[in-house]
Amino acid sequence: MNNNKRSKLSTVPSSRPIRVGFVGLTSGKSWVAKTHFLAIQQLSSQFQIVALYNPTLKSSLQTIEQLQLKHATGFDSLESFAQYKDIDMIVVSVKVPEHYEVVKNILEHSSQNLNLRYLYVEWALAASVQQAEELYSISQQRANLQTIICLQGRKSPYIVRAKELISEGCIGDINSIEISGNGGWYGYERPMRSPEYLYDIESGVNLISNSFGHTIDVLQYITGSYFQKINAMISNNIPTQFLLDENGKRTKETISKTCPDHLLFQGILENGKVPVSCSFKGGTPVKKLTKNLVIDIHGTKGDLKIEGDAGFVEISNLVLYFYGIKNGNGSSNGTDNNGAAAIKDKEKVTKSPSPSTGTSEEEQTMEVFHLRNYNSVVGNILRIYESIADYHFLGKPESKSSRGPDDLFASTKFDKQGFRFEGFPTFKDAIILHRLIDAVFRSDKEEKTLDVSKIMI
Question: Alpha helices, DSSP H only, in 67-190?
Answer: 78-83, 96-109, 129-140, 157-167
Q: Looking at beta carbons only, is 73 or 241 nearer to a copy of itself?
A: 241
Q: Could you tell me the smallest distance in angstroms from the CB atom of residue 301 to a copy of itself?
A: 8
* Strand partners of residue 14: none
Q: Could you tell me the smallest distance in angstroms from the CB atom of residue 248 to a copy of itself?
A: 5
Rounded distance between C-alpha atoms, residue 81 and residue 74, angstroms: 9
Q: Could you tell me the smallest distance in angstroms from the CB atom of residue 231 to a copy of itself?
A: 4
Q: Looking at beta carbons only, is 68 or 356 nearer to a copy of itself?
A: 356
Q: Looking at beta carbons only, is 295 or 381 nearer to a copy of itself?
A: 295
Q: Could you tell me the smallest distance in angstroms from the CB atom of residue 361 to a copy of itself?
A: 13
Rounded distance between C-alpha atoms, residue 138 and residue 431, angstroms: 13
Q: Could you tell me the smallest distance in angstroms from the CB atom of residue 73 to a copy of itself?
A: 43
Rounded distance between C-alpha atoms, residue 9 and residue 258, angstroms: 46
Q: Looking at beta carbons only, is 336 or 451 nearer to a copy of itself?
A: 451
Q: Looking at beta carbons only, is 91 or 320 nearer to a copy of itself?
A: 320
Q: Looking at beta carbons only, is 5 or 445 nearer to a copy of itself?
A: 445
Three-state secondary-structure class, residue 52: strand
Residues that bind a copy of itself (CB under 8 A): 175-176, 178, 180, 188-189, 229, 231, 233, 235, 237, 242, 244, 247-250, 262, 264-268, 272-273, 275-279, 281, 283-284, 286-290, 296, 298-301, 303-305, 321, 323, 355-358, 366, 443, 447-449
Contact 406/394 with Cβ under 8 angstroms? Answer: no
Q: Looking at beta carbons only, is 347 or 398 nearer to a copy of itself?
A: 347
Q: Could you tell me the smallest distance in angstroms from the CB atom of residue 291 to a copy of itself?
A: 11
Q: Could you tell me the smallest distance in angstroms from the CB atom of residue 233 to a copy of itself?
A: 6
First CA to last CA distance, the chain: 28
Strand ordering across the sheet containing 240-244 = 189-191, 240-244, 250-256
Q: Could you tell me the smallest distance in angstroms from the CB atom of residue 204 to a copy of itself?
A: 22
* Cis amide prior to 340 (ω within 30 degrees): no
For the residues of 270-286, what is the DSSP string, one character each? Answer: SGGG-EEEEEEE-S---
Strand ordering across the sheet containing 275-281 = 343-349, 364-369, 318-325, 303-308, 293-299, 174-182, 275-281, 262-269, 227-235, 450-451
Q: What is the DSSP letter of 324?
A: E
Three-state secondary-structure class, residue 232: strand
Q: Looking at beta carbons only, is 105 or 277 nearer to a copy of itself?
A: 277
